[in-house]
Structure 1
Amino acid sequence: MDGCDRHDVFRLPALSASVADARGRIRERLAEWDADPELCDDASLVVTELFTNAVRHTESEKITCVLRERGAVVRLEVTDQGRGVQEPVPCDAGTEAEGGRGLLLVSVLALAWGSDPAENGTGRVVWAELAAHHAPSA
């Protein structure tokens, strides 16, 4: 690891259709940063879950995504515009439930995750940190 500090920030409409765009942007940027395929897959799943939750559980018009690499950690942040009903917590989805396992998946894939109030006073930042793995140098 070369100790670099890289980041990417983008905003998308708070629509279910934007989830694929967010996932694609994260995969593209990590590939440019020579991340290994496992990290690309894990980060794609994490951003899918966090973005989907922001769409489903808030009244946002736009969602901001931040991808940052610092040392051995890749941090994903998804910021909504607020008006959600509560702070995100993993739920105990029953075996027949079609959803409700997203944050549990995030907690398994991430070194750490959590949420904080957005800096502007409205909305919430939900974040996850993953171990930065890079493809071997040629």
Structure 2
Amino acid sequence: MRDAFHLPARETSVSEARRLVQRRLRAWGVAEESCDDAELLVSELFTNAVRHTDSDKVGCELWMIGVRLRLEVTDEGGARRRLLPTPRTPDADGEGGRGLLLVSVLADEWGVRPDERDRGNSVWAELPCVRTPA
């Protein structure tokens, strides 16, 4: 199973991305806990794409492969120098800097690759996915 969507690169699109992911995963029969983990991952990855790139839009793809869920968020890069997303040690009093640390805890695997046009990045995460009994 696969789904994809694009949204404007605005802070307000993060909540829409979460809603779209929840809706799709529920339609696929994914259990609530797995939906919640996926929603949090998408929120972090989408937020990073909005905040740290000059993208006009951000893409999101979901794949269900057996009992695995893969999420991928792709930005358009932009005028800023392209940097690969990397976890950092957050300041204890700071508001940010924990997103990719959270991704690394929730996901079994995650990574970054250049997008198809080699301008932006695609950040992906995979996690186990429990489906509700039919």
Aligned Cα root-mean-square deviation (Å): 0.9
Question: Hey, what's the Cα distance between the residues in 2 that align with 1:59 and 1:120?
Answer: 15
Question: Which residue does 1:33 correspond to in 2?
Answer: 28
Question: Hey, what's the Cα distance between the residues in 1 that align with 2:91 and 2:49?
Answer: 22
Aligned to 2:66, which of 47, 51, 71? 71
How far the C-alpha of 1:79 sits from its partner, in A, is 0.4
Question: Hey, what's the Cα distance between the residues in 2 that align with 1:55 and 1:92?
Answer: 21
Check if 1:21 corresponds to 2:31: no
Check if 1:9 corresponds to 2:24: no
TM-score by length of 2: 0.95
1:71-110 matches, cutoff 5 A: 71-83=66-78, 84-85=80-81, 86-110=83-107
Which 4+ stretches in 1 moved above 2 angstroms?
none
Check if 1:118 corresponds to 2:110: no
Which residue identity does 1:134 align to in structure 2? R
Percent of paired sites with the same residue: 51
The secondary structure found in structure 2 opposite 1:17 is helix
Question: Which residue does 1:135 correspond to in 2?
Answer: 132
CA deviations 1:17-65 (Å, max 9, x no partner) are: 0000000000000000110011100000000000000000000000010
Structure 1 unpaired stretches of 5+: 1-5
Structure 2 unpaired stretches of 5+: none
Task: Count residues in correspondence.
Answer: 132
CA deviations 1:53-98 (Å, max 9, x no partner) are: 0000000000010011111210000000013541001110021111
Question: Hey, what's the Cα distance between the residues in 1 that align with 2:125 and 2:27?
Answer: 20
The secondary structure found in structure 1 opposite 2:131 is coil
Question: Hey, what's the Cα distance between the residues in 1 that align with 2:67 and 2:133?
Answer: 15
Question: Which residue does 1:51 correspond to in 2?
Answer: 46
Which residue identity does 2:15 align to in structure 1? A
Question: Hey, what's the Cα distance between the residues in 1 that align with 2:111 and 2:118?
Answer: 17
How far the C-alpha of 1:136 sits from its partner, in A, is 2.4
Which residue identity does 1:24 align to in structure 2? R
